[in-house]
């Protein structure tokens, strides 16, 4: 590869980016405005929710009766689901996906039977439930413990004649206390990477082909690998700078942060750039004119913004739909960026996203090598 030509092509492409004000607006200013508007209106969270997991270690008629009684309280803000995995339940609590975890311990049924027996003494030990909550959200914790306490007290009174059959013990757990803006910022970065490369490459390459720029390049000693390397480098630099600007503004205005490795964040910016650039080259090869390349790219990228977890969680979609969505590169890019920034996940946890984005990039570049045309 001619290194001097590679540098000149990279610099030329960066100058094209700098001179194209319309491109800068739609690839940087528009996503920033979108982030600022959504972050200002809904970024700091919503109403109080008491999403709760009940973990039953006892599996007795008494514990099942308690669960049924708690689930029957439809008039309360408590929304409970049952799980058998306490570790997974506490992990969801720490991530902020759930607000409370109620643990029914082994031996609960025996304690209830002993307290409710006719011969039981007034001071007999009551059955105790452990209630884990997020200690970083004091307001929600106080409301939740009060609601759960009242519900459990009602159950206790039904079990026996106003004897203290069941009590609760609150246990604080420090969660990440994430807000919608923490979800949004990585999604905006993923959206910019997709738009810059899928739409940008498709439109630019098809325009250069129509104007004869590619034909003139082909008539020189310039190799295709040098041309593609210059395009990749210029777009990596553009994406890196834009991602940094979004993250910094999100941190300064909304106090978002990067909890994981910056190197891992850069890796996903590179993989996302390569994957969507390759798809852009495919579109540019299939489109006969620049006028058709834009709509084709738009038809692909616009739905991906809403299906790929940019603005809304993928797990809120219908289950059957999620199987298809989870194959899309934007889904794994937004998920990976979110996991690195919010959770601080490492490479060992995110290797499936690395593999899938890398696979998309390799397969798409292979397809692009067959569809690409100089004229």
Do the strands 100-104 and 127-134 form a parallel or antiparallel pair, or are they unpaired? antiparallel
CATH fold of 50-173, please? Answer: abc type-2 transporter like fold (3.40.1710)
Local confidence band at 171 (pLDDT 50, 70, 90 cut-offs): low
Average pLDDT on 332-349 reads: 87
Where are the chain's structural domains? 3-42+179-371, 50-173
**pLDDT tens-place string over residues 21-76:** 777 777 777 788 878 887 776 655 444 567 788 888 888 887 888 788 777 654 45
Confirm if 284 and 198 have CB atoms less than 8 A apart: no
Helices 262-286 & 224-254 angle (0-180, nearest 10):
130
Give the global pTM: 0.65
Length of the chain: 375
Q: Where is average pLDDT lowest: 158-167, 292-301, 316-325?
A: 158-167
Of 235 and 145, more confident = 235
Of 55-64, 120-129, 186-195, 202-211, which range is least confident? 120-129
What 8-state DSSP symbol labels residue 317? S
pLDDT of residue 211: 82
Burial 227-246 (b: 16+ CB within 10 A, else e): bbbbbbbbbbebbbebbeeb
- The Cα 118–Cα 269 span in angstroms is 68
Using CA atoms, how far residue 86 sits from 61, 202, 280, in Å, is: 20, 49, 46
95 SS3 class: helix
Tens-place pLDDT, residues 101-111: 888 888 887 87
State which of 112-116, 167-171, 296-300 shows the largest mean pLDDT. 296-300
What does the pLDDT average to over 226-253?
87
Does residue 123 register a pLDDT over 50? no
Q: Are 50 and 143 in contact (CB under 8 A)?
A: yes
Q: Which residue has the higher pLDDT, 12 or 177?
A: 12
- Would you say residue 278 has pLDDT above 70? yes
| 188, 35 contact by CB (below 8 A) | yes
DSSP string, 241-259: HHHHHHHHHHHHHH-----
């Amino acid at each position: 590869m001619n290194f001097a030509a590679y540098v000149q092509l990279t610099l030329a492409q960066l100058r094209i980016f700098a001179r194209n004000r319309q491109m800068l607006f739609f690839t940087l200013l528009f996503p920033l405005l979108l982030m600022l508007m959504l972050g200002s209106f809904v970024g700091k969270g919503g109403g109080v929710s008491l999403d709760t997991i009940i973990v039953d270690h006892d599996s007795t008629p008494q514990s099942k009766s308690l669960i049924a009684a708690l689930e029957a309280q439809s008039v309360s803000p408590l929304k409970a689901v049952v799980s058998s995995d306490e570790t997974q339940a506490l992990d969801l609590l720490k991530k902020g996906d759930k607000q409370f975890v109620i643990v029914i311990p082994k031996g609960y049924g025996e304690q209830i039977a002993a307290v409710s027996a006719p011969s039981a003494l007034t001071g007999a030990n009551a059955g105790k439930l452990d209630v884990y909550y997020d200690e970083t959200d004091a307001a929600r914790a106080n409301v939740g413990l009060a609601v759960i306490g009242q519900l459990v007290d009602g159950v206790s009174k039904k079990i026996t004649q106003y004897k203290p059959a069941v009590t609760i013990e609150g246990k604080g757990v420090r969660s990440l206390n994430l807000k919608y803006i923490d979800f949004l910022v990585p999604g905006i970065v993923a959206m910019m990477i997709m738009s810059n490369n899928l739409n940008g490459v498709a439109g630019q390459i098809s325009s250069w082909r129509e104007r004869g720029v590619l034909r003139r390049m082909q008539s020189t000693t310039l190799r295709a690998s040098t041309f593609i390397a210059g395009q990749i480098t210029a777009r990596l630099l553009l994406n890196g700078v834009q991602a940094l600007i979004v993250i910094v503004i999100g941190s300064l205005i909304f106090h978002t942060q990067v909890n994981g490795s910056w190197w891992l964040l850069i890796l996903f910016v590179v993989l996302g750039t390569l994957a969507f650039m390759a798809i852009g080259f495919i579109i540019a090869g299939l489109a006969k004119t620049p006028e058709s390349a834009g709509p084709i790219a738009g038809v692909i990228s616009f739905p991906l913004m809403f299906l790929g977890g940019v603005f809304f969680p993928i797990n809120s979609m219908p289950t059957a739909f999620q199987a298809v969505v989870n194959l899309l590169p934007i889904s794994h890019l937004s998920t990976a960026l979110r996991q690195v920034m919010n959770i601080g996940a490492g490479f060992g946890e995110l290797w499936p996203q690395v593999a899938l984005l890398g696979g998309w990039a390799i397969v798409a570049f292979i397809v692009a090598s067959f569809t690409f045309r100089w004229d």
